Amino acid sequence: MTVFGLLRSPRHVLFGAGQRRALGTLAASVGRRALVCTDARFSSTPDFDELLGLLRGAGMEVSTFTETLPDVPTGQVVECAELARRAAPDVVLGMGGGSCIDLAKSVTVLLAHGGRPQDYYGEFRVPGPTLPLIALPTTAGTGSEVTPVAVLSDPERSSKVGISSPHIIPWGAVCDPELTYGSPPALTASTGADALAHAVEAFTAIRREPEPGLSAARVFVGKSELTDQYALLAVRLIAANFHRAWSDPDDLEAREAMMLAAMAGGFALGTAGTAAAHAIQYPLGALTHTPHGVGVGALLPYVMEFNRNVREQELARIAREMRVPLQGDDAELADASIEAVADLLASVGIPRTLGELGLAEDKVGWTAEQSLNAARLVENNPRRLDAAGAERIVRAAYAGDRTGLRDEHEPLVAARGGSL
Ligand code: NAD
């Protein structure tokens, strides 16, 4: 067995209820002039006022951008960077859901290197370090507080785009579960589904030959020993706490566990990468205007089924981590993991079909075709994902029928990287 591990992460990760109050000291240790990027919702909360007070109390000058929109349109990145230049910040803070953090990440790139967001789409296109960034998530989902990617909506493209670079990993992540307490059930469901998809897709991703050039050639390198540990932690926590956090918003223990799971999922995806469910969600989300997590959640069981025969051991492990009550062999447990994930997602209101998400039947082919544009995600899928394969997944997810998705002729351990 060859053990390979790669993990890229923030310099400071602070997790726990009330830990946001360490923000002033932490930010002042790295800068004097802070730009805070958030949205209208968070900027109107007492928590936001308290956080600004902490920054000012630590002797910092603070400027704010409070207009972030969900799924950040690229124009906002340009607008925020232009406004920010006058204040000349030396540290940027992203406070809010994944959208606010992704806006903040993108703004640090423009402030440090100029140009437009388009100049940095893809992997490794950010030429060097950016301003230090501190992320404070208010959702338990994207894991963006620890990842090297910012996801944006470009009105000139049919799908979302990503800026992926180790240079945009936040310098600090302050994860305070108290900031998620007000998350309504629908948001808890979509963000939790996103975190589950990160964990499952990272754990079942391709395993690449660990050549010494791998970490320099790709931002997302596929599964490794280190990302597996985070992915399994996330699966375990989500299985035990997702429905609790969704059905009882005041279950603080479950909220805490979900935020920890989201962060762990971020560590897993940030180095391993995600795969087919995320690739298909890009065009699906653009068409249906549904939250990112709802789309990836609806797709996840179908993608697991598609990959079933090349990831049997991993899926069996997922079933064990989810404490699926079944004494069986890997084959039985792998099947059970798909059912367990599908049932968990349905139990928090994630639709079981893409039809319920609003996808029109005549857009099935287009969605599949467009998903192949997300090359880094397509290449990360453990089973080869071509146009025909993507269409089979989308069609099955549209119809709500997983039968026939796995290829019985494909070897149990794929040539594209088997299990340890
Ligand atoms: P979001 O940031 O888009 O926010 C969605 C809505 O929830 C907003 O209206 C926001 O104001 C509200 N909200 C946020 N926190 C809340 C709270 N505690 N209580 C009540 N309302 C709250 O949602 P998100 O799911 O966190 O982020 C989604 C975005 O992140 C998408 O653009 C997605 O593509 C991207 N994403 C990024 C990464 C990454 O690693 N960078 C990973 C996955 C997804």
- In ligand 1, the atom with minimum distance to the C-alpha of 100 is 2
Q: Is the CB of 198 under 6 A from ligand 1?
A: no
Compute, in angstroms, the gap from residue 139 CA to the centroid of ligand 1. 6
In terms of Cα–Cα distance, which of 338, 343, 215, 323 is closest to 277? 338
Q: Clarify whether residues 248 and 171 are in a common domain.
A: no
> So what's the pLDDT on residue 419?
38
Provide the phi-psi class of 17: left if phi over 0, else alpha when psi is between -120 and 50, else beta.
beta
Q: Clarify whether residues 155 and 284 are in a common domain.
A: no
* Residues contacting residue 331 through CB under 8 Å, at least 6 positions apart: 312, 316
Q: Clarify whether residues 151 and 255 are in a common domain.
A: no
Compute, in angstroms, the gap from residue 1 CA to the centroid of ligand 1. 39
Establish if 306 belongs to a structural domain.
Answer: yes
Q: Clarify whether residues 174 and 213 are in a common domain.
A: no
Q: Clarify whether residues 154 and 239 are in a common domain.
A: no
In terms of Cα–Cα distance, which of 107, 147, 108 is closest to 227? 147
Ligand 1 mutation target, pool 37, 41, 42, most atoms within 8 A of CB: 41
Establish if 73 belongs to a structural domain.
Answer: yes
Compute, in angstroms, the gap from residue 258 CA to the centroid of ligand 1. 15
- CA neighbours closer than 13 Å in the CB half-sphere of residue 152: 27
Q: Clarify whether residues 337 and 211 are in a common domain.
A: yes
**Residue 162: Cβ-neighbour burial (10 angstroms; 0-12, 13-18, 19+):** buried
- DSSP codes joined into one string, 139-193: SSS--GGG-SEEEEE-TTSSSEEEEE-GGGS-SEEEE-GGGGTT--HHHHHHHHH
> So what's the pLDDT on residue 41?
98
Q: Clarify whether residues 68 and 112 are in a common domain.
A: yes
Pick the last residue of a domain from 134, 164, 180: 180
Q: Is the CB of 180 under 6 A from ligand 1?
A: yes
Establish if 191 belongs to a structural domain.
Answer: yes
Tens of pLDDT along the chain (420 residues) come to 589 999 999 999 999 999 999 999 999 999 999 999 999 999 999 999 999 999 999 999 999 999 999 999 999 999 999 999 999 999 999 999 999 999 999 999 999 999 999 999 999 999 999 999 999 999 999 999 999 999 999 998 877 889 999 999 999 999 999 999 999 999 999 999 999 999 999 999 999 999 999 999 999 999 999 999 999 999 999 999 999 999 999 999 999 999 999 999 999 999 999 999 999 999 999 899 999 999 999 999 999 999 999 999 999 999 999 999 988 999 999 999 999 999 999 999 999 999 999 999 999 999 999 999 988 899 999 999 999 999 999 999 999 999 989 876 655 444 444 433
- In ligand 1, the atom with minimum distance to the C-alpha of 179 is 18
> So what's the pLDDT on residue 1?
58
Q: Clarify whether residues 78 and 101 are in a common domain.
A: yes
Establish if 75 belongs to a structural domain.
Answer: yes
Establish if 279 belongs to a structural domain.
Answer: yes
Q: Clarify whether residues 275 and 331 are in a common domain.
A: yes
> So what's the pLDDT on residue 11?
97
Which is it for strands 133-137 and 160-164: parallel, antiparallel or unpaired? unpaired
Query: Total structural domains in the chain?
Result: 2
- In ligand 1, the atom with minimum distance to the C-alpha of 147 is 40
Rounded CA-CA distance 267/179 in Å is 20
Compute, in angstroms, the gap from residue 18 CA to the centroid of ligand 1. 21
Read off the CATH number of the domain in which 368 is found. 1.20.1090.10
Compute, in angstroms, the gap from residue 398 CA to the centroid of ligand 1. 25
Residue with CA closest to ligand 1 atom 22: 183
Q: Is the CB of 99 under 6 A from ligand 1?
A: yes
Compute, in angstroms, the gap from residue 415 CA to the centroid of ligand 1. 36
Rounded CA-CA distance 88/76 in Å is 18
Where in the sequence is the domain holding 70, given as residue range(s)? Answer: 12-180
Read off the CATH number of the domain in which 27 is found. 3.40.50.1970
> So what's the pLDDT on residue 159?
77
pTM of the model: 0.96
Q: Clarify whether residues 29 and 169 are in a common domain.
A: yes
> So what's the pLDDT on residue 410?
56
Establish if 404 belongs to a structural domain.
Answer: no
Q: Is the CB of 187 under 6 A from ligand 1?
A: yes
Rounded CA-CA distance 349/327 in Å is 28
Q: Clarify whether residues 267 and 365 are in a common domain.
A: yes
- In ligand 1, the atom with minimum distance to the C-alpha of 41 is 11
Q: Is the CB of 191 under 6 A from ligand 1?
A: yes
Q: Clarify whether residues 213 and 362 are in a common domain.
A: yes
